[in-house]
C-alpha cells in the first residue's frame, strides 16, 4: 500500500510541476512579446504586424527555454 501512495504522490507532484512550467512559459512568452512590440515601436515606428511580433516572440521564447533545458550542468564530485 505504501508503494502505491508513493507512486500517486509522485504523479501528483509531476502534474503540478508540469502545470507550473506551462504557466511560466506562457508568462515568459507574453513578456517577450511585449518587449518585441515595444522595441519595434521605439526603433521602427508603429508598423510591425501582430503576426510577425508573435512569430518573433515564439522563436525567442522557444530558444531560451530549450537553451535553459539543455544547459550543461557541472559534474558533481
Q: For residue 76, give the DSSP letter.
A: P
CB of 57 within 8 A of CB of 33? yes
Of 62, 61, 63, 41, which Cα lies nearest the Cα of 50? 41
Closest C-alpha among 55, 14, 15 to residue 36: 55
Distances (CA, A) of 44 to 36, 54, 59, 72: 11, 17, 20, 37
User: Are 33 and 52 in contact, with CB atoms under 8 Å apart?
Assistant: no
- Per-residue model confidence as pLDDT tens digits over 8-60: 999 999 999 999 989 998 998 899 889 888 888 888 888 778 788 888 888 98
* pTM as predicted: 0.69
Phi first, then psi, for residue 70 (nearest 5°) are -95, 5
Which residue would you say has higher pLDDT here, 64 or 73?
64
Q: Residue 10 has what pLDDT? A: 92
Amino acid at each position: 500500500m505504501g508503494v502505491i501512495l508513493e507512486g500517486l504522490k509522485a504523479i501528483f507532484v509531476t502534474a503540478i510541476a508540469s502545470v507550473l512550467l506551462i504557466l511560466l512559459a506562457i508568462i515568459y512568452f507574453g513578456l517577450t512579446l511585449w518587449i518585441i512590440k515595444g522595441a519595434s515601436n521605439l526603433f521602427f515606428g508603429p508598423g510591425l504586424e501582430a503576426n510577425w511580433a508573435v512569430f518573433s516572440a515564439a522563436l525567442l521564447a522557444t530558444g531560451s527555454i530549450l537553451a535553459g533545458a539543455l544547459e550543461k550542468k557541472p559534474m558533481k564530485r
